[in-house]
Each structure stands twice: as structure tokens, then as C-alpha cells.
Structure 1
Amino acid sequence: MSRFALGLVVGKFAPLHHGHLHLIDTAAAQCERVLLLSWCQPEPARCEAAARERWLQACRPQHEAWVFDDASLAQRCAERGLAPQALPPDASDDLTQQRFLAWLLAEVLPQRPDAMFASEDYLVPCAALLSRVFGHEVTPVLVDRARSTVPVSATRIRQQPVAHRHHLPAPVWADWVPRVCLLGGESSGKSTLAQALAERHGTPFVAEYGRELWERQGGVLLEPDLLHIAEEQVRREDAAAARAGPFLACDTSPLTTLFYALDQFGRADPALMALAERRYDLVVLCEPDFPFVQDGTRRDAGFRQRQTDWYVTQLAQRGITPLRASGPVAARVRLVEQALGLD
């Protein structure tokens, strides 16, 4: 039988890692129900409340989870007829954080845990404060204080995510994996570079969906096809991200599709223009110094140069400085590795 009716786990989960999951699972083994609470102020990059909520839902959907930012806290308080409090800054002392937690549990949710699980020294005084507030014992359960089961911290992961990626569940790594976008005119070697990078580092790469669809439709693309191409390219990126190794190589992006929309039809769907603003951790612009190979589907070297020049202008307008990759494939691979800190 479970020792406790309701167990409490509080954490920033920024990002959620296997140590957090071990803590949650330890609580679940001893409790009928587990309540997960998360807030942080400020939120670290890539750890916004929506992301943390999504990770918890993906990794432990069986537990009730509340992830608060200022907006969601205000909304919940309005639903309860309460005046919202501000989230306490991360730099606040332990007593401030504990009083905020007690208010959340007593007034905002409301929930009354029987036990609290944590791996930190604040656990015992926090459980004692909750016991006084609720008038019943909230048992502190210390879990793996030495961090021997999962020897990592969220701080170390944020500092070196690639080095600690094995500590991140797949849904979390999908949001953290460095995405490398390869751009370039026709026959500039970007597909060759994407494949070479993927093979060298044992990671998937995302091929150019537009060419796949073009071949499937017998060399004909209609204007509505271009928005579909960009949406499918993004969908395939997101699907591959959870399986990626140290990075994800993306052969082209919606910016490429925008070029062809403007070139072929003189206009672009607003949704396609929005997708073309998609950001990547590294943008590589392949120089047109490969010998131009006419495979029967391409235009000519002049078009390739015009396309390259368009990328240069568009990236500059977006404040993006690309890595200019030139020379043979091996040299280009080394450039990308150096930029990613993998050399």
C-alpha cells in the first residue's frame, strides 16, 4: 500500500532531466497521487513555462502538474477570485519561496500534500512550514541527496547541453538539440554536406522535402504546394529532433521555399512568410564554388549565384550572420564542427 495519499514535488525543471524523473518516480512509488509544481523567475532560455509544461506532460502524463508564469498564475487567481501575487525571484531566500509555495497550495490550487519529496537541503524546513500551515504533518522524504543515481544538475545541462544530452528525455532534447540550417543555391553542396555531417556524427539529417514532392508530382509545383512544403519541412525537423545526436542538420528551411515562391509566382502566402522567419542555432551558407552539376532539374550557374545573393540579403535583413562554407566537403565539415564546438 502507498505510504501517502498525496506527494508533492516542486522544481524548476529547467530543463527537465532524468534526475527529476527519478525524483518524481520515487514519489509515485510511495503515493497514491503526485502533484508537480514548477515556477522560476526569470525563466532560463528554452525553459519557458509552456515548454516545461509540455515536457512534464510528455514524460509523466499520469501526474497532475502546474507550471506557473505570471500570466498563468494571474489566470488561476482570477478563476479562484484571488488577487495574484508575483512569482518570487529565483534569488529570493528560502523562506520567501516556502511561503509562496504554502500560499499556492492553500489558496490557489488548493491541495494539501501529506509528503514532500526533494533532493535539496531546503526540504526539511519547507515541510515543517507546510505542516504548520495545514495543521497536519507533511513528511519530508529526501531522495538521492548526493546525486549518485543521476549525477547531473540543470545548471550544468544549460551550460553544456550537448555534453549532457544523455541526461535529457527525448521530448526535452528535441527542444534543446542545436539545429543547423544549410542554405545555398542549386548545386552548392548543401545536401552533400548535410549527409556528410550526419554520417560522421551518427545523427539524422532532414532532407529537402520540396525536391521529394517535385519529383513525385513530375516536376510540377503549384503555388499552394509551397506552403505545404514549408510546413512539412518543419514537421519533419521536429520529428527528427528527438532522435538527434549532438545536432540536427537541416537541408534547407522555409526561407528556401520563400525564395521559390517569390521567384516562380511573384508572391508568397503570409503563413509561408511567417515560417521563413524560423530561427536556427547555426545557419550555414554554402558558397557556390562547387562545380555546377546540371542534373536535368537545375537552371544554371547564374541562377545559383542569384539565389546565393538573395540569401545573403535576406539573412542580413533578419540580423543573421551565416557561417560561409566553401571548399571541399571535408573542409566544410570541419568549419561546422568548429562552430558547434565539436572539433
Structure 2
Amino acid sequence: MNLYKRGLVVGKFCPLHQGHELLIHRAQDASEELLVVSYTKPEFPGCEPTRRERWLRAQFPQAQIVVLDDARLAALCAARGVPARSLPHNDDDGELHRHFMGWLCWTVLELPVDAVFTSEDYGPGFARVLERHYASGPVAHVSVDQARTLVPVSGTVARQDPHAHSAFLSPIVRADFVTRVCVLGGESSGKTTLTAALAAHFETAWVAEYGRELWESQDGILVYDDLLKIGREQLRREAQALLAARRWLFCDTSPMTTYFYCVEMFGKAEQELAQLAEHRYDLVLLCAPDFPFIQDGTRRDEDFRARQHAWYQAELARRGIVYVNVSGTVAERVRQVAQLLARRSD
């Protein structure tokens, strides 16, 4: 049985962690309706409003989610015919934040609450301000795991090193902090071998080349419509693998590769495939064609490999994508990438 008509949870959720989720679940269980508001000023890298909104909506689809920055707040006020305000700064006095939230619920959203749920010591004072100025009846405060005994983590700690505290992040949140590395290269340039070796070295997930899998399953025959299917499925598998990856995800090719083969084979490509080819990664590796060419029965020839490599160089430059050349043996390539990723993590 719900104790309250409308509950309220407010937080930065930078990032959303399992302590926040515990708080919101408790509030949801005790309230007929639940309003969740997220704002922070300044913003924190990696926790932008669009991400926070996506996390919250995915985890709590039944709640009313409001994620704000100054632009979003101004648009909301304009839509409601209310004079706009700026968000309070994180360092502003707590009383200012309490009155801001009261104004937001009462005047802008027109969603007065009768309970606030927090894991902080400001909770009772917050409830009193709402009850005195922004409610038509009592406003209760419900404290949830303030001592952090059930979920021993804070947003500040998780934000400082999301990977070290990934056990406290749900998969959808953890995935947004994974570095996505794309490995490109011409035929018989060692990209698949390198991708698998990197995943093994870093003990994380990798995404195989779906196009080759489909080609083999269809006895070496691909029709035009298959190429768009390949591009879509490649990205779907990447998104799925992100949920299981640890710090890094290594991807064998990208839809850019599929786009290349589509134009090469059919002289054209669907607009959607061209758009999928714009998919960006945190790091792109281009394998040098310095391995002896191995004909496994599926490949063209060494001249085609050289032409494909040159196409990647030109296309990456045209798109303004910075990439790193890797060369040498598999062990040498893994060492090059490991050193590179170590520098990026510092």
C-alpha cells in the first residue's frame, strides 16, 4: 500500500549508482506517483543531461523524470509561461536549492509533493521548506540508507573513478564509461587477430565482424540488402557487448567497412548505411598491411588489400577522424596499443 500520493527524489546522479537506485526504488514503492529531478551546475564530464535522462528512464520507466540544465529549464519555463530562472550552483547555500526545488515543483511543474526521499542530512529541512511554502498539506521526509551501509558508495567517489567502482553501476550506466576501440584494416592485415588478442590482454569483451559471419553462413553470397543488415547488426552487437565490457571494448571493423564493401560490390549504398558509417569511436586503430598476405579462400589479393588500406587512410582523413597506425607482430601491436591506452588513462 502506498503511503504517499507523490514522492520526490532529487539528485545530481553523476553518475547514477546503485545507492541512488535503492533510494528511488524505496520512494517508488512508497508513493502512488514519483517525481525524480536531476540537475547539477556545473556539469560533470561523462554525465551530461542526455545520458542522465537515458539512465533514469531506462531504470525507472514508471517515474516522471525531469533532467535539467539552464537551457532545458528555460525551455520548460517558456512552455509553461513561467518567468525563467537559472539553476543554482552546486556550491550555493542549501536553502537556495530547497526553495528552487519548491518553486520548480509548485510553480513550474505544478506537481506538489507530500514526501521527499533522501540519503542526506538535509532531508528534514528540505521537507520543512516544502511544507511551509510549496505544499497544501504535510510533507514527510523519508531517509534511506543515509549511513551508506547497504550500498557503500557516493556519487563523488564513483565519479572520480567509475571503473574502480563499476560494481556499483548498473550495466547501462557502466557502458557509457567504456572506451570503444575500433580496429580497421585491409584484408589479411591482422585486424581480427589483433582485436581478439587485445580483448584477451585486457580481459574484456570484443565484437567480431558480423559481415564475415553472414558471408560464411550464406555460402559466400551477399546480396545488396545484406549490407545494410550487416551495418545495423554490427552496431547492435556493439551496444550489447558494451554491457559486458570492462573499461575497454574492442571492435573488429565498423559500419564504415560495410559501406566500403557495399560500394565496392554494388556501386552504391543506402543512405542509412552511409549514416551508420559515421558512427564514432573513442579510438581508431588502422592495421598496417605488413603481414604476408594469406589467401584463405575468401579474400581478393594483395593489390586489393593495398587499395583498401589507402581508402581507409583517405576516408578517415576526409571525415576528420584521428587514428593510430599499428604495425609489426601481434605481440608488438598489442604492446603499442597497451602503451597508448595506459597514457590515455593517466
Range of TM-score over shorter length: 0.7 to 0.9
Residue 16 (1) aligns with residue 19 (2): no
Shift of 1:295: 0.6
Letter in 2 for 1:190: K
Q: Which residue of 2 aligns with 1:53?
A: 53
**8 A Cα contact 2:13 2:20, kept in partner:** yes
Q: Which moved more, 1:5-14 or 1:199-208?
A: 199-208
Q: Which residue of 1 aligns with 2:66?
A: 66
Query: CA deviation digits over 1:42-88, x for unaligned, max 9?
Result: 44344333322221222222333222345554554455333443334
Sequence identity (%): 52
For residue 181 of structure 1, give the secondary structure of its aligned residue in structure 2: strand
Residue 166 (1) aligns with residue 167 (2): yes
Shift of 1:253: 0.6
Letter in 1 for 2:10: V
For residue 100 of structure 2, give the secondary structure of its aligned residue in structure 1: helix
Shift of 1:29: 4.7
Query: CA deviation digits over 1:75-108, x for unaligned, max 9?
Result: 5445533344333444544333322211111022
Residue 131 (1) aligns with residue 162 (2): no
**8 A Cα contact 2:177 2:247, kept in partner:** no
Q: Which residue of 2 aligns with 1:255?
A: 256
Query: CA deviation digits over 1:292-322, x for unaligned, max 9?
Result: 1101111122222222222222223333332
Q: Which moved more, 1:204-213 or 1:131-140?
A: 131-140
* Counterparts of 2:71 and 2:225, CA distance in 1: 37
* Counterparts of 2:91 and 2:315, CA distance in 1: 41
For residue 195 of structure 2, give the secondary structure of its aligned residue in structure 1: helix
Q: How do 1:62-101 and structure 2 match up within 5 A?
A: 62-70=62-70, 72-101=72-101
RMSD of aligned residue pairs (Cα, Å): 2.7
Q: Which moved more, 1:106-115 or 1:60-69?
A: 60-69
Q: Which residue of 2 aligns with 1:197?
A: 198
Gap runs ≥5 in structure 2? none
* Counterparts of 2:149 and 2:318, CA distance in 1: 49
* Counterparts of 1:307 and 1:40, CA distance in 2: 47
Q: Which residue of 2 aligns with 1:292?
A: 293
**8 A Cα contact 2:181 2:285, kept in partner:** yes
Shift of 1:249: 1.3
Gap runs ≥5 in structure 1? none
Residue 332 (1) aligns with residue 333 (2): yes
Q: Which moved more, 1:259-268 or 1:168-177?
A: 259-268
Please report the TM-score for the alignment, with normalisation by the length of structure 1: 0.88
* Counterparts of 1:64 and 1:106, CA distance in 2: 15
Closer, same or farther: CA 311–90 of 1 in aligned 2, 3 Å:
farther
Q: Which residue of 1 aligns with 2:207?
A: 206
Letter in 1 for 2:212: R
Shift of 1:15: 1.9
Residue 322 (1) aligns with residue 331 (2): no
Letter in 1 for 2:6: L
For residue 37 of structure 2, give the secondary structure of its aligned residue in structure 1: strand
Q: Which moved more, 1:159-168 or 1:120-129?
A: 120-129
* Counterparts of 1:11 and 1:4, CA distance in 2: 20
Letter in 2 for 1:319: G
* Counterparts of 1:200 and 1:32, CA distance in 2: 49
For residue 340 of structure 2, give the secondary structure of its aligned residue in structure 1: helix
Q: Which residue of 1 aligns with 2:35?
A: 35
* Counterparts of 1:227 and 1:245, CA distance in 2: 29
Letter in 1 for 2:284: V
Closer, same or farther: CA 155–331 of 1 in aligned 2, 3 Å:
farther
Query: CA deviation digits over 1:123-164, x for unaligned, max 9?
Result: 343323212212544333343344343333334434423222
* Counterparts of 1:58 and 1:81, CA distance in 2: 30
Closer, same or farther: CA 228–74 of 1 in aligned 2, 3 Å:
farther
Q: Which residue of 2 aligns with 1:141?
A: 142
Q: Which residue of 2 aligns with 1:219?
A: 220
Q: Which moved more, 1:257-266 or 1:109-118?
A: 257-266
* Counterparts of 1:223 and 1:33, CA distance in 2: 50
Shift of 1:244: 1.8
* Counterparts of 1:123 and 1:242, CA distance in 2: 34
Closer, same or farther: CA 175–306 of 1 in aligned 2, 3 Å:
same
Q: Which moved more, 1:109-118 or 1:250-259?
A: 109-118
Letter in 2 for 1:219: G
* Counterparts of 1:219 and 1:188, CA distance in 2: 20
Letter in 2 for 1:49: P
